[in-house]
Amino acid sequence: MRVTQTVGLALILGIFTHFAALMGVLMNLAFLLAGSTSTNPQLLVVGITIVRVGGVAVGTYGLDYFAQPMLKRIAS
């Protein structure tokens, strides 16, 4: 599966949301720096907003609700 599809699927399902949103922002920045100038600047601002503000709902909605306790048990 391609990276963009993986990031999109992770965001839709709500698993590893912070990481997936950060990777989406980095991919968008790479497209922007490569010279693509359609809606990338606006989407970059939206992506950064999701990464910074979206932390409130992470772990409440989506598969992160189930994944975070399992990862904490594995890590400890």
pTM (global) more than 0.85: no
Task: For residue 35, give the 3-state DSSP assignment.
Answer: coil
Domain ranges, ordered by start, for the chain: 3-75
74 phi, psi to nearest 5 deg = -70, -40
More confident residue, 1 or 44: 44
Per-residue pLDDT reduced to its tens digit, 6-43: 988 998 898 888 888 888 888 888 888 888 778 888 88
CA distance 63 to 26: 23
